[in-house]
Structure 1
């Protein structure tokens, strides 16, 4: 038909009229409302508002978290500093304790050394005194015959020692520290003991009833060496005592002078 042909042949696409657009818009809105799409279109506006609120809240939370983190760091730093201070104080205390202990040990060692030295000095002094100590050969006696007394009883014509009064069996003592060089029968001296002393002198003890020492034995001042008697060339119980410069007969010296020179009152 002519109408149809003209409309198709015009070659132009005519847009919708204003009324059609408005009608379509109303219909679309109604459709959208029916299907709920309107709510979807409206959501972005609310979402935008919510995003803005979330952004504001996030910033606030970030500030709070930062403040809390800073506080935690300060607390941790304070705790670490406290621990470091405590460790340093402990180390210093231990060092001071070690120093005090070392000083106490040094003082104790010095005291012990001083005590040892004092003890050694005391022992040396005691030994010196012991070496230089002399006693009487009899505890309670007196001289009954003097040195160099004359008479026919002695082969030399005079007494080479002194006689101490003593009953038979009286303890006879070494007058000083020394070594026994003779212990046994001595002829006219009977049973006798000869002792060499530290100063190089000798003492002799004659007419003994019995002996308590042997040759080579060390004796101390006052030590028992035998018992008094009347053996050998003797007129009765007594102690014949001699002091000599040598071990042999004939080197005699005055026994009283000898004993007194060694501090013995006689």
Structure 2
């Protein structure tokens, strides 16, 4: 008795049937050229990175590479310009500091020079009559002096010879001084006093500031004298009896006699 399939129902094809159908389909596609056009791309496609585990390498185009190179060059140039600007700034700052230091040193040197000049000026002493000499020494004995000895020295000088202050000071006496005749007494810058006697004329007044070498009068023969000359004394005070050795005093201040 023969069996047939019920109409309208299908059974799953057997393995052999499926293989036969697949082979027939491929043959048909190959004949029409469809297989060739579809298979080629599928076969040419590369496996994805996730499937292979490899890191893909991206190849950049020339325009992108050029842009990167240009950017790198610009950054390099900017860095070079920044470095040059920093170097210029440092050099300018160093130059300013050097100039400021030089200016400060110049000011300090100017101050030192001024102080030294002032020190020399204050400590400059001269002879009361340049080119003259001591004709009567200090503490020489004679009945001409009330104390019995000479309290100063006499400088040889004709009447009318200019007499100058031996150093910087202030005039404390200017006028008649008894046996000293016309006299000038000056308080010196170092606190000592000098006296100039027997003057024929006086050229300064009390309170006046005088400098070393400044003329204060003219020599003469006023007071208790035997002839024209300059009587010069160095004292610790303005008063008579506080005398110092005038020659030693002048030599101690750099005056050669």
Normalised by the length of structure 2, the TM-score is: 0.67
User: How many residues align structurally?
Assistant: 198
Match of 1:244 in 2: 235
In structure 2, how many angstroms separate the alpha carbons of the residues matched to 1:80 and 1:234?
108
Of 128, 131, 147, the residue aligned with 1:156 is 147
Match of 1:231 in 2: 222
Cα displacement (A) at 1:203: 0.6
Of 202, 205, 217, the residue aligned with 2:208 is 217
**3-state SS of 2:232 partner:** strand
Cα displacement (A) at 1:91: 2.2
Q: Give the RMSD, CA atoms, in angstroms.
A: 2.4
**3-state SS of 1:133 partner:** coil
Any idea what the Cα deviations from partners look like across 1:127-181, whole Å, max 9, x if unmatched? 3333333221111111112222333433333322111111222221211222222
Structure 1: state its 5+ residue gaps: 1-68
Bigger helix fraction:
1
Match of 1:130 in 2: 121
In structure 2, how many angstroms separate the alpha carbons of the residues matched to 1:103 and 1:133?
44
Of 242, 246, 258, the residue aligned with 2:249 is 258
**3-state SS of 1:172 partner:** strand
In structure 1, how many angstroms separate the alpha carbons of the residues matched to 2:247 and 2:255?
9
In structure 1, how many angstroms separate the alpha carbons of the residues matched to 2:205 and 2:85?
66
Alignment of 1:56-71 (within 5 A): 71=62
Cα displacement (A) at 1:73: 4.7
Match of 1:188 in 2: 179
Cα displacement (A) at 1:222: 2.1
Cα displacement (A) at 1:106: 1.2
Match of 2:97 in 1: 106
In structure 2, how many angstroms separate the alpha carbons of the residues matched to 1:190 and 1:94?
83
**3-state SS of 1:129 partner:** helix
**1:86 aligned onto 2:77:** yes
**1:139 aligned onto 2:134:** no
**3-state SS of 2:201 partner:** strand
In structure 1, how many angstroms separate the alpha carbons of the residues matched to 2:208 and 2:72?
80
